[in-house]
Amino acid sequence: MVLRDAHNRIIRDLRLSLTDRCNFRCFYCLPNGEPPLARKETILTFEEITEICEIFVQLGIEKIRLTGGEPLLRKDVEVLVEKLAKLKALRITNYELRGDGNPNSKFQIPKLVDLALTTNGFSLKERAKDLKNAGLDRVTISLDSLKRENFRKITGVDKLGEVLQAIKAAQRANLNPIKINAVIVRGYNDNEIVDFAKFARENDLSFRFIEFMPLDAGHEWRREMVVPGKEIRAKINQVFPLKLKKNSRGSETAWKYEFADGGCGEIGIIAPVTEMFCGACSRIRLTADGQIRTCLFSTAEHNLRDVLRSGARRAEVVEFIKVVVLKKEARHHINDAEFVQPQRTMSFIGG
Report the chain's C-alpha Rg in angstroms: 20
The bridge status of strand 206-211 relative to strand 63-67 is: unpaired
Bigger pLDDT: 33 or 134?
134
Nearest CA among 59, 91, 107 for reference residue 318: 59
CATH number, domain containing residue 255: 3.20.20.70
Could you tell me if 300 and 291 are in contact, meaning their C-beta atoms sit under 8 angstroms apart? no
Could you tell me if 86 and 31 are in contact, meaning their C-beta atoms sit under 8 angstroms apart? no
First CA to last CA across the chain, in angstroms?
26
**CA atoms of 3 and 243, how far apart (whole Å):** 34
Question: What residues make up the domain containing 43?
Answer: 3-349
Number of other CB atoms surrounding residue 253 within 10 Å: 18
Residue 149 has pLDDT above 70, yes or no: yes
Strand, helix or coil for residue 316 = helix
- Between the ranges 89-93, 98-102, 120-124, where is the mean pLDDT highest? 120-124
Cα angle 274, 238, 139 (rounded to 5 degrees) comes to 60
* pLDDT for residue 98: 45
Reported pTM: 0.89
Residue 208 has pLDDT above 80, yes or no: yes
Task: Determine which of 26-40, 209-223, 314-328 has the lowest per-residue pLDDT on average.
Answer: 26-40
Nearest CA among 251, 296, 320, 328 for reference residue 67: 296
Residue range 228-236: mean pLDDT, rounded: 97
Distance of CA 38 to the CA centre of its chain: 19
* pLDDT for residue 35: 56
Tabulate helix, strand, coil % of the chain (nearest 5): 35, 20, 50
Residue 100 has pLDDT above 50, yes or no: no
Residue range 169-187: mean pLDDT, rounded: 97
* pLDDT for residue 20: 87
How many structural domains does the chain have? 1
